[in-house]
Amino acid sequence: MPCLAHSLSILRQSALCGAACLALALGTPAVAAASTVYKWLDASGVTHLSSERPPAGVKFERIRLDSISSQGSSTSRPKSNSTTRVAAATPEQTARRNEMLSSLQNRECVVALEAIDRIARSGDAVDPTEFKRLQQTADRNCSQDPARRREQEDMAAKLRVAKGDVCVDARNELADMLEPGRRPTRDQLKTQQEFIEAHCKAPVR
């Protein structure tokens, strides 16, 4: 049986090699095109996330979603005299890109909403420019659907609690319990961990 498995493995590798060589010979792309999401800040500091490339001259972060079949091939470069054709994104790649874009927009929304709420509750003097930037970031990335917007506001409230003094103290107390020489009971550890899990887990990072 091991010999048979080894033989099948060799045949499979040969078939894959032959398919790749045939693809190169025909000038067709051997891998699917990658999906990309762009993230950048405008002149006002507002966060933008889009599947479209930002305007010329704007610094941006490219978040690339390579397909599984293209892993490990990003360092290869075509020869100067060869014809390179980029395959259109597959429906799966497009869906994955859109899902990640939505996730990134949700994160930016929640972080902005939490910051706005924290500033409003602090009672300190508010920087109008910073407050406006946060509001614009929230307006650009938060959902227009009322139900989804309420969910995002709830997430912002949970994030505020997770970053608050009560949860900071709870995490510090758990760390102290785990220090060498400390001998907390199993129930004490369980109670502390359950409190942190229930009240101090940030909905976004």
Tokens of 42: 């405008």
* Helical segments of the chain, H only: 2-26, 91-122, 128-141, 146-162, 165-177, 186-199
Q: Of all helices (H) and strands (E), which one includes residue 40?
A: strand 35-41
pTM value is 0.61
In 10 A of CB 163, how many CB atoms?
13
pLDDT in tens, 61-105: 887 765 433 444 344 444 445 454 556 778 888 888 888 889 999
pLDDT in tens, 9-29: 443 444 444 444 434 344 444
Domain-wise residue ranges, the chain: 1-26
